[in-house]
C-alpha cells in the first residue's frame, strides 16, 4: 500500500514538473505558413517561456557560420525547422535545382549546427511527398524509403529525406531527440496565394477570386476532379508541434493529417460557394489528374492524444478572409 502511494506521488510530481517546465523555442522560417502559425500558437502555450521568431532577415541559413551563431546566441531548448523553399507542382518541377540545393543547405546547416547540443529537442518539418509514388493508402510512416518518388517534386523530397537521414544519424551517434513531422497538404493564413507557384487550395482561392472580380462565366480546373486529397489547417499542425514538446516517443517520423478526404471537384465547389463565384466550373479531362488518392495514416499521433480540430469549411473561410485582408 505504501509502495503504491509512493509511486502515485512520484508520478504526480513528474507530471507537475513536465507541466511547469518552460521552454525557450527557436522557430526557423517564422514568416512562412507553418512558422508564423507556430509563433502564434506557441506564444500562448503553457509549455513555452519565450519564442524566438527567426527569419532570413536575421539569419542567413545558407551560411553554416551564421546559422551556428544564431543557435549559440538564442540558447534554445527546442528548435523548430520550418524554413524551406516551397511551392506547388509547377514550381517544384520548373526550379528543380533550386529546390534541391536550397533545401539541402537549410536543413544541413541547421542540423549540423545542433550536433554539439544533444539536449535541444529538434522538431523538423517534412512533407508527405517523401513517401513513394505508389505507396498504399493510408500511408504509414514505415513506408519511407520503400519505393520511387513522385517525379515532379523528387528534388524537394530528396532534400527532406536527407534531413531525416542526418537527424537519424545524430540521434544514434549523439543521442539527439529529433522528431520529423510529415504533414498532409497544408493551408491557412499567410499561405502563398500565387496563381502559378502555390499549392491547390491557395491557388484555387486566388484564381477563382480573380475570376469573380473579372465576372468570368467559366473557371477551368485541370483534370477530372475525381482524385481524393487530405488537407490540414496549419494551426492544427502548430498544435501538434506544441503537443510534442517535451514528449518522449518511440517513433521519430510522425504523420500529421486530418483523416478526412475530399475530391478536388468537391473542394472546388466548396471554394466556389465560399467565394460566391457565379460562373461554371469546367474540368479539363485532357489534363492529368495526378495520384488518384493520397491519405496519411496518422493513427500513431492520434493514439498519443492529438487530433485535428478544424473542419475544412471553417479553415477555408479563415484562409479566404486572410487573403482578402492582405490583397496587394
pLDDT in tens, 126-166: 999 999 999 999 999 999 999 999 998 899 999 999 999 99
Judged against a pLDDT cut of 60, whether residue 171 lies above it is answered with yes
Q: Distance between the two ends of the chain, CA-based, in angstroms?
A: 69
Nearest one of 244, 305, 234 to 78, comparing CA atoms: 244
Record the pTM. Answer: 0.92
47: cell is 509549455
pLDDT in tens, 24-76: 999 999 999 999 999 999 999 999 999 999 999 999 999 999 999 999 999 99
The label of the residue with cell 496587394 reads 328
Sign of the four-CA dihedral 159, 162, 168, 169: negative
> Which residue in the list 156, 179, 187, 320 is annotated as catalytic?
156
To the query of whether residue 187 is one of the catalytic residues in this protein, the response is no
15: cell is 507530471
Amino acid at each position: 500500500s505504501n509502495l503504491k502511494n509512493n509511486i502515485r506521488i512520484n508520478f504526480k510530481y513528474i507530471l507537475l514538473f513536465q507541466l511547469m517546465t518552460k521552454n525557450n523555442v527557436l522557430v526557423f522560417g517564422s514568416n512562412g505558413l507553418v512558422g508564423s502559425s507556430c509563433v502564434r500558437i506557441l506564444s500562448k502555450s503553457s509549455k513555452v517561456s519565450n519564442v524566438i521568431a527567426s527569419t532570413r532577415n536575421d539569419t542567413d541559413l545558407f551560411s553554416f557560420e551564421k546559422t551556428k551563431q544564431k543557435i549559440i546566441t538564442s540558447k534554445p531548448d527546442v528548435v523548430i525547422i520550418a524554413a524551406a523553399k516551397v511551392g506547388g507542382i509547377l514550381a517544384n518541377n520548373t526550379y528543380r535545382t533550386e529546390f534541391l540545393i536550397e533545401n539541402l543547405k537549410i536543413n544541413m546547416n541547421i542540423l549540423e549546427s545542433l550536433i554539439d547540443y544533444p539536449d535541444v529537442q529538434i522538431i523538423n518539418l517534412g512533407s508527405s511527398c517523401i513517401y513513394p509514388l505508389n505507396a498504399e493508402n493510408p500511408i504509414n510512416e514505415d513506408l519511407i524509403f520503400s519505393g520511387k518518388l513522385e517525379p515532379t517534386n523528387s528534388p524537394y523530397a530528396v532534400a527532406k529525406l536527407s534531413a531525416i537521414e542526418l537527424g537519424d544519424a545524430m540521434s544514434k551517434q549523439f543521442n539527439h531527440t529529433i522528431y520529423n513531422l510529415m504533414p498532409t497538404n497544408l493551408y491557412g493564413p499567410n499561405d502563398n496565394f500565387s496563381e502559378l507557384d502555390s499549392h491547390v487550395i491557395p491557388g484555387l482561392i486566388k484564381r477563382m477570386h480573380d475570376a469573380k472580380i473579372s465576372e468570368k462565366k467559366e473557371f477551368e480546373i485541370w483534370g477530372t476532379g475525381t482524385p481524393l486529397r487530405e488537407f490540414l489547417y496549419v494551426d492544427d499542425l502548430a498544435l501538434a508541434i506544441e503537443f510534442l514538446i517535451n514528449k518522449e516517443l518511440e517513433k521519430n517520423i510522425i504523420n500529421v493529417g486530418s483523416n478526412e478526404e475530399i475530391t478536388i471537384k468537391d473542394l472546388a465547389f466548396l471554394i466556389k460557394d465560399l467565394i460566391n463565384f457565379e460562373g461554371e466550373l469546367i474540368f479539363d479531362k485532357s489534363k492529368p489528374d495526378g495520384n488518384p488518392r493520397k491519405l496519411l495514416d496518422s493513427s500513431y499521433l492520434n493514439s498519443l492524444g492529438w487530433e485535428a480540430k478544424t473542419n475544412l469549411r471553417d479553415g477555408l473561410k479563415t484562409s479566404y478572409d486572410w487573403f482578402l485582408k492582405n490583397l496587394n
